[in-house]
A = this chain, B = another copy of it.
Amino acid sequence: MKEQVHAAARAARTAAATLAVTNRAGKDAALHAMADALVAGTDAIVEANSVDVETARAAGTGEHVIDRLRLDADRIAAVADGLRDIAALPDPVGEVVRGSTLPNGLRMQQVRVPMGVIGMIYEGRPNVTADAAAICLKAGSAVLLRGSSSAARTNAAMIDVMRDALVASGLPADAIQQIPADDRSSATHLMQARGLVDLVIPRGGAGLIQAVVEQSTVPVIETGVGNCHVYVDADADLDMALSIVLNAKTHRTSVCNAAESLLVHKAVADSFLPRVVAALHEHGVTIHGDAAFRAVDAGVVPATDDDYAAEYLSLDISARVVESLDEAVAHIRAFSSGHTEAIVTSSLAASARFTAGVDSAAVMVNASTRFTDGGELGFGAEIGISTQKLHARGPMGLTEMTTTTYVVTGNGHIR
């Protein structure tokens, strides 16, 4: 298996060298060909998918998970449209990040170039297969796709179709390759193929991400765990606060930018707590609260430190009254996963102190945590949301899938 993964990575390196010198027109034509081919291949993909779905159902997989796995003609058409959207985005490769003429006359430019070979290790929905392939291609990199075994047939069918489209567009098929998912070791070999793979991105649950971070010798960008907070300040508009809390918690519970914890300044606790507790209960939310929250309603259950640290991904929220903005910041620094924090306040000073004080990928001022999203922020495409500080932090689009080179031009300059 190690030799198989390394052979795939070496073939990807060769393909990457071709992609690196392919211009935008060539890459966009391939993306359109891939989109058309996915639609034309709908029958084969749906057939492969139905086997994956039946296998999952026979194994007792829940209907919620099966719904994420299922592809039909409409979903494939939506995936294809996503590829055409990526074709419409500007090419990040070749962007001059900075440049100057040095005192000695040397001309220096820092230019954006492709990453090379990117490994994706992911669970869940097969649309990630096409999205990741398209984003990496547009950014000039080859991609090694290691999806879950439960979607292996679906992924294989989609990848076959996309590879054929690459060849028809004059690009190397090995720019998009599937890494077998039937053996757990394939992921390990991928994340330890240092020198052959330039970057590994894990997308999935906390367990997957932790395993990749601990075992990888290839540089990793950690994505996604979100213990996001909403802090309602002493100077908050309480109607706005209620609307933001409800949206952040209940709009969609299974996503990393949903709120998991509510902090309320004591100055507004008396007026806000009864309203927010009643509204959250009305939406079916279980509140894990401190003594102040529990005093409002007997239905509030006690919160432990484990609650404050939890990413529930469900209709649960932890809740606390704080003495001050500084206590809110300290609580967030202690418990947050560094994804997104929101403050609701009318005070410019409070907004500035909160923004400078927390240490997370995104800070929302008077807006729902749900806006930390590549699409919402206008990046066009998103391969994940980084919760680490190195290289990329927050939603990662095409730019974040590139690196840079310094090009220095002289006329015989020596030191």
Is there an interface contact between A415 and B376, defined as CB atoms closer than 8 Å? Answer: yes
Give the shortest distance, in Å, between A347 (CB) and chain B (any CB): 13
Is there an interface contact between A377 and B406, defined as CB atoms closer than 8 Å? Answer: yes
Alpha-carbon distance between A414 and B17 when the two chains are bound, in angstroms: 44
A115 at the interface (CB under 8 A from B): yes
Is there an interface contact between A106 and B391, defined as CB atoms closer than 8 Å? Answer: no
Q: Which of A72-80, A261-269, A358-366 lies on the face that meets chain B?
A: A358-366
Give the shortest distance, in Å, between A90 (CB) and chain B (any CB): 13
Max chain B C-beta neighbours (<10 A), residue from A20, A220, A355, A414: A414
Is there an interface contact between A199 and B378, defined as CB atoms closer than 8 Å? Answer: no
The digit string for A268-307, where 1 denotes a CB below 8 A from any CB of B, is 0000000000000000000000000000000000000000
Contacts of A240 in B (CB 8 A): 411-412
A388 at the interface (CB under 8 A from B): yes
Q: Which of A40-48, A167-175, A243-251 lies on the face that meets chain B?
A: A243-251
Is there an interface contact between B17 and A378, defined as CB atoms closer than 8 Å? Answer: no
Is there an interface contact between B407 and A365, defined as CB atoms closer than 8 Å? Answer: yes
Alpha-carbon distance between A362 and B408 when the two chains are bound, in angstroms: 7
Is there an interface contact between B389 and A251, defined as CB atoms closer than 8 Å? Answer: no
Given the known A-B contacts A21-B356, A368-B413, are A406 and B389 also in contact in the complex, defined by CB atoms under 8 Å? no
Q: Which of A30-38, A155-163, A179-187, A211-219 lies on the face that meets chain B?
A: A211-219
Contacts of A315 in B (CB 8 A): none
Contacts of A407 in B (CB 8 A): 355, 362-363, 365
Given the known A-B contacts A370-B414, A390-B219, A413-B367, are A213 and B199 also in contact in the complex, defined by CB atoms under 8 Å? no
Is there an interface contact between B361 and A405, defined as CB atoms closer than 8 Å? Answer: yes
Is there an interface contact between B213 and A390, defined as CB atoms closer than 8 Å? Answer: no
Alpha-carbon distance between A371 and B105 when the two chains are bound, in angstroms: 12
Is there an interface contact between B363 and A408, defined as CB atoms closer than 8 Å? Answer: yes
Is there an interface contact between A406 and B390, defined as CB atoms closer than 8 Å? Answer: no
Is there an interface contact between A408 and B116, defined as CB atoms closer than 8 Å? Answer: no
A108 at the interface (CB under 8 A from B): yes
Is there an interface contact between A404 and B410, defined as CB atoms closer than 8 Å? Answer: no
A349 at the interface (CB under 8 A from B): no
The digit string for A67-91, where 1 denotes a CB below 8 A from any CB of B, is 0000000000000000000000000
Given the known A-B contacts A389-B199, A415-B376, are A106 and B406 also in contact in the complex, defined by CB atoms under 8 Å? no
A131 at the interface (CB under 8 A from B): no
A50 at the interface (CB under 8 A from B): no
The bracket for how many chain A residues form the interface is 35 or more
A393 at the interface (CB under 8 A from B): yes
A254 at the interface (CB under 8 A from B): no
Contact of A390 among B20, B390, B395, B408 (CB under 8 A): B390
Alpha-carbon distance between A414 and B239 when the two chains are bound, in angstroms: 12
Contact of A413 among B371, B410, B414 (CB under 8 A): B371
The digit string for A220-256, where 1 denotes a CB below 8 A from any CB of B, is 1100000000000000010010011001100100000
Contact of A237 among B362, B363, B412 (CB under 8 A): B412
Given the known A-B contacts A393-B405, A405-B362, A405-B393, are A412 and B244 also in contact in the complex, defined by CB atoms under 8 Å? yes
Give the shortest distance, in Å, between A211 (CB) and chain B (any CB): 11
A240 nearest CB neighbor, chain B only: B412
Give the shortest distance, in Å, between A336 (CB) and chain B (any CB): 11
Is there an interface contact between B404 and A393, defined as CB atoms closer than 8 Å? Answer: yes
A124 at the interface (CB under 8 A from B): no
A194 at the interface (CB under 8 A from B): yes
Given the known A-B contacts A213-B217, A388-B219, are A408 and B356 also in contact in the complex, defined by CB atoms under 8 Å? no
The digit string for A326-361, where 1 denotes a CB below 8 A from any CB of B, is 000000010000000000000000010001110111
Max chain B C-beta neighbours (<10 A), residue from A102, A113, A213, A243: A113
Is there an interface contact between B115 and A377, defined as CB atoms closer than 8 Å? Answer: no
Alpha-carbon distance between A251 and B248 when the two chains are bound, in angstroms: 61
A372 at the interface (CB under 8 A from B): yes
Is there an interface contact between A367 and B116, defined as CB atoms closer than 8 Å? Answer: no
A403 at the interface (CB under 8 A from B): yes
